[in-house]
Chains A and B, each alone.
Chain A
Amino acid sequence: MGRYIVARLIQSIPVLILVSVISFGIMKLVPGDPAILIGGPTATPAELDVIRANLGLDQPFHVQIWKFYIGLVQGDLGTSLLLGKPVLQATIERIPVSLSIAFYSMVLTLFFGIACGVVAALNRNSWADQGAMVFALLGVSIPNFWLGLMFIILFSVHLGWLPTGGYVPWQESFGGWFATATMPAVSLALLQIGLLARITRSTMLEVLKQDYIRTARAKGLPEFVVIGKHAFKNVMIPVITVIGIIFSVLLSGSLVIESVFSVPGVGSLLGSAVLRRDYPMIQGGLLLVAWSLLMLNILVDVLYAYFDPRVRYDHGS
């Protein structure tokens, strides 16, 4: 198992490097002089020179990229123009906020997505099955930021149950965290639940046809063992592969959702960086998010190997 993890890590190195090149390259797409865009029309030539010097724009391209990588190796992703703080520090400070919401909505997604999918598969063509399918279709069609706004209209403005936004860390008050995190987490999760339910359903239907399910029944096992043990672990194999995708979509969505609910997480940090042209912050943010997702994918692969012994033994020894 250990060797498998190391192998996966080594395999990911070229992609990690390419991701950093792309993050660096995107910011070179800025047409014209970024200093003028940042400084604004009122900036004096002296001020512009300071901005250029800070960003290293006064240096030739190869020096810029060299410095970028030297910084990267030392854990220095530049300094945010907006916050005057190192990008890495600014991001790390906000990660717990985003993670707590992402984790919350991941739990909701996994629980309800898998449950709905299993129920739909076991009651094929019933109302539960049809309902799950409609839900899945709506899930991929409704934009999550608009859904968040609709939640605000309903639960905050009309019913007054939950605050319209903000964030309370769970270490301070769990109730406060729950009240502020629920709407963002649910508006992120709701759309993914349908998708996961659909995948779970089709996988479950496929697994139930397998010979080993017949064997399990022939052994006289109760149906809840046949489904809950023999079918479930096999269903989880393809489901785990989509968990990585779902997490990436959740993270992507939290970018916008955090802005909707004024949650001070990485998403709203990047959102405001994008609007205010805080280039070092955008560049560092892109890099950090993509790298974390790649690491997450490796974690998913390891989980996959846990559920599917065939993978483990093919690569491990």
Chain B
Amino acid sequence: MTTAVDAATVAGTRKRSFLQRNPVLRRLIRHKAFVVGAGLFLIISLVAILADFIAPSDPSRMAVRFRFRPPSAEHWFGTDNLGRSQLSRIVYGARLSLAIGLAVVIMNAVFGVALGAASGYFKRLDNILMRVTDALMAFPPVLLALGIAAALGPSSLTAAIALAAVYIPRTARIVRASVLVVRELEFVQAAMAMGAGNLRILRKHVLPNCMAPLIVQLTFVFAFAVVTEATLSFLGLGSPPPTPTWGNMIAEGRQYIRDAAWITLIPGLALAVTVLSLNLLGDGLRDVLDPRLKISQD
């Protein structure tokens, strides 16, 4: 018995000392906004992952008898115009929202880093790439996403591609800025002089140095992606119904706004809470990882 207790205590102290030894983690845990954001986001992610177990019913099962039921003990979030459970639709909507957000973030990380690094390294490429990002950034984000999504046709995949295309130039600029700083550092100059390959320098020096702003940027990209995806599907350019997305739920609820406001209200709240959690997360990460950045660009 005693040995088991000892083992637990030892494990406990080791855990604590790990936290103490890692100043970034310790400051993050002290950052209230970060903790709240991380907690909320964790819950939302769990809901999205476990949608099959949490949803009380199939999100597209219609029940005419139960149309327009306001939120109650039986139907937590009420039912919509077709008698579908709003709770189930919100839960599955979370899965889609987060999946698209994640896809956009991954595409941003891959292409943003690749383009940013290439731009920072090769002067000739830099000029062209930066003019192209200037041009892409001249479009309002939502309008550009709309245009691309309209050209590609409405679906979740095209929404994700459109959103990635909007934010990749912004991510690339951040990586490029880091590369430009890092390549002037003496030890990097030394590594280059000794003939270290570009890829090796990128991996060993540039990436670790731009990790902090990149992580912060990607958190905000996630938040933007979730809002903008909802906007696209609100306008009819996301996944078409009957697939439940928060955006198309709000769009459908609009017609019944006089008598069944909850159909519009609840998906919007879900959306706002998700985006809020990501923004809190991003603010916390920015404060701790990269105090120089005060306010992110749009």
Contacts and interface: CB of A to CB of B under 8 A. Distances in A.
* A touches B in complex, CB < 8 A: yes
A205 B216 CA distance: 24
Interface residues of A, number: 54
A83 interface: no
B5 to A, nearest CB: 44
B contact patch SS: helix
Interface in B246-298: 250, 254, 257-258, 261, 264-265, 268, 271-272, 275-276, 279-280, 283, 294-295, 297-298
B134 A18 contact: yes
A149 B135 contact: no
Interface residues of B, number: 47
Given A202-B294, A256-B234, A146 B250 contact: yes
A237 interface: no
A282 B272 contact: no
A270 B257 contact: no
B289 to A, nearest CB: 18
A179 interface: no
Given A282-B150, A286-B139, A146 B283 contact: no
A19 B147 CA distance: 13
B132 interface: yes
Interface string B135-178: 11011111110111111110000000000000000000000000
Contact of A290 (B139, B258, B271, B276): B139
Contacts of B258: 157
Contact of A252 (B143, B150, B237, B294): B143
A150 B149 CA distance: 27
Given A137-B280, A289-B140, A29 B298 contact: no
- Which of B143, B152, B234 gathers most chain A CB within 10 Å? B143
Interface in A17-52: 18-19, 21-23, 26-31, 37
A2 B223 CA distance: 42
Contacts of A141: 223, 272, 275-276, 279
B135 A15 contact: yes
B276 A138 contact: yes
A270 B143 contact: yes
Interface of B: 131-132, 134-136, 138-144, 146-153, 223, 227, 230-231, 234-237, 250, 254, 257-258, 261, 264-265, 268, 271-272, 275-276, 279-280, 283, 294-295, 297-298
